[in-house]
Amino acid sequence: MTDTSTTNARQLSDLEVRAEKERVKRNWLLSMPAMILLLLGASGPLLIVLVYSFMTPGDYSGVIWTPTVKAWFQIFFTVDIFDDTVRLADAHLTIFGRSLRLSLLTTLLTLIFGLPTAYFIATRPGRQRTLWLFLITIPFWTNLLIRTFAILEVIRNEGLINNFLRWLGVIDEPIQILYTDTAVLIGMAYVYLPLMVLPLYAAIDRFDFRLVEAGYDLYANRWQVLRRVILPIVKPGIIAGSILVFVPSLGAYVTPRVLGGGKNMMIGNFIELQFGQGRNWPLGSSLSILLLLVVAVALLFYVRAANRGGSDE
């Protein structure tokens, strides 16, 4: 009787294992079309760009199928046409530095304005909170180019800011803001501010404000409550918002093109220049892969910081 029960249990276990294998196999087959589409639609173009980065540029465009690492070398170094000396590619490094600097400043600026904005919205009553969130999302209804031109009308020499300052008598001549790094910074901060506010609001909305009262009861001042109570708890929202702002601002194209002009290009504009007027597809491809690697490092930092924050809690 015991042997029969053991045999039946073993057969039942084998049937369950076989059924589980069939279920996994069926799920893989059902997901295969989506995986193939994702592979061809996402990974395929990236693979082409990666291959192009190791090819020789064509005479007028495209590539010549001769493998070389010259494009990757040209990112950081240049060879003098007269004496063949190798030196740093100052123009490229300047563009990289400007892109990183403006992206970090944009992230910091949106954080400075986004944190009090999100805190204000999270502390409103229910109906008012919905209204303020609705107002924050309104810019997403408008095309990025239109929003950029709106900022252009505000900061240009005959724009709202200069006309207002001249009306007050503060200045006699317009302040040159347009076509500078400051204009690009203002434009990107305006464009990407909602991407910072929404994650911060989601983090602050879950915040238990009784902890703030407890901090005041323990004789902490406002700065100590902010630094020791509020910021550690809303840290995941700060990290998420920073990534959401930093990643698109690093590869921004429209805003630097419109507000910065040709002399204040960022890496996105430089990549477009290589595929367009420069006709150096391998260099443009290598720059694209480099930008992708920088974004991947930023996302890795976000994951590690988020996991560290979760483990601390």
Any alpha helices (H) in 123-226, and if so which ranges? Answer: 126-137, 144-155, 160-168, 181-205, 210-217, 222-225
User: Residues 121-140: pLDDT tens digits?
Assistant: 988 887 888 889 888 888 88
Per the structure, the count of domains in the chain is 1
User: Residues 252-310: pLDDT tens digits?
Assistant: 999 999 998 877 789 999 999 999 888 899 999 999 999 999 888 888 887 777 676 55
Residue 74 maps to a domain? no
End-to-end CA distance of the chain: 54
* Contact between 88 and 78 (Cβ < 8 Å): yes
pTM: 0.82
Residue 2 maps to a domain? no
CATH of the domain at 257: 1.10.3720.10
Q: What is the DSSP letter of 87?
A: E
Residue 274 maps to a domain? yes
Residue 4 has a pLDDT of 64
Residue 97 maps to a domain? yes
**Per 3-state DSSP, what percentage of the chain is helix, strand, and coil (rounded to 5)?**
75, 5, 20
Residue 242 maps to a domain? yes
Amino acid at 92: H
Residue 269 maps to a domain? yes
Tokens of 195: 């991407």
Residue range(s) defining the domain that contains residue 152: 88-312
Residue 193 maps to a domain? yes
Residue 83 maps to a domain? no
- 75 vs 309: which has the higher pLDDT: 75
